[in-house]
Amino acid sequence: MDTLKGQFLVATPDMSDERFAEAVIYLVAHGDDGAMGLVVNQPLPDMNLADIFAEIELAEDAEPIRVPDRLLHQHVFKGGPVESSRGFVLHSSDYFRDGNSFAVDDDITLTATLDVLRAMIEGKGPERSLLALGYCGWEAGQLENELRHNGWLTAERSDELLFSLPAGRKYDAALAAVGVNRATLSPVSGNA
């Protein structure tokens, strides 16, 4: 099986599930057993990393730490409908904890423990990061079926699209990466 791990899924007008309308999903796993990904272009309203940092207990007797400004206003994303209260940090591979981090590829890592948030607050975390609550999951064969029914386009990973672009521009950028735009993206498509 060819894996789509490390690529984007870009929702088409044929996507029947409204939760994924105009979604851009980064696939962190894909194989014979199914797939897992995070929506990277749907920020949660009125929530940013500063809100998350204020809610978690990092250490009872720790000295006050000044959170780097670049993190304070960073969006928290709606990663998907599965386990929507669980946090997943998708980040550059310059941060890795054995047993806690999962290498998606040579450049991107996923960590789903508080360790990465502690490191970020202390200025020892990854250079680039994206926090998502929840994830998207597919059973064996389910994603392939959705692809056959034109629910998704696939696009190669771009660090700019993943980490730098404003959330509202990611869908159009992902479409452009596969050579289409909203005007040319037809709700009626076929398979070759």
Q: What is the pLDDT of residue 96?
A: 95
What integer best gives the mean pLDDT of the chain?
A: 88
**Average pLDDT for 54-66:** 58
Q: Which residues, in sequence order, are CB contacts of 63 under 8 Å at separation 6+?
A: none
Q: What is the pLDDT of residue 192?
A: 46
Instruction: Give residue-wise pLDDT tens across range 113-124.
Output: 888 998 888 888
Percentage of the chain modeled with pLDDT above 90: 67
- Tell me the C-alpha distance between 111 and 90, whole Å: 7
Q: What is the pLDDT of residue 177?
A: 94
Q: What is the pLDDT of residue 29?
A: 97
- Which pairing describes strands 75-78 and 152-156: parallel, antiparallel, or unpaired? unpaired
Would you say residue 158 has pLDDT above 70?
A: yes
Q: What is the pLDDT of residue 61?
A: 47
Domains of the chain: residue spans and CATH? 7-177 (3.40.1740.10)
- Tell me the C-alpha distance between 110 and 95, whole Å: 10
Q: Which residues, in sequence order, are CB contacts of 189 under 8 Å at separation 6+?
A: 12, 14, 150
Contact 132, 76 (CB under 8 A): yes
Would you say residue 144 has pLDDT above 50?
A: yes
Instruction: Give residue-wise pLDDT tens across range 63-101.
Output: 555 666 777 778 999 999 999 999 999 999 999 999 999
Instruction: Write down how long the chain is.
Output: 192
Provide the β-strand partners of residue 8: 26, 155
Q: What is the pLDDT of residue 182?
A: 86
| Short-list 76, 119, 85, 81, CA closest to 100 | 119
pTM over 0.75: yes
Q: What is the pLDDT of residue 32?
A: 95
Q: What is the 3-state secondary structure (H, E, C) of 25-78?
A: EEEEEEECCEEEEEECCCEEEEEEHHHHHHHCCCCCCCCCCCCCHHHHCCEEEE
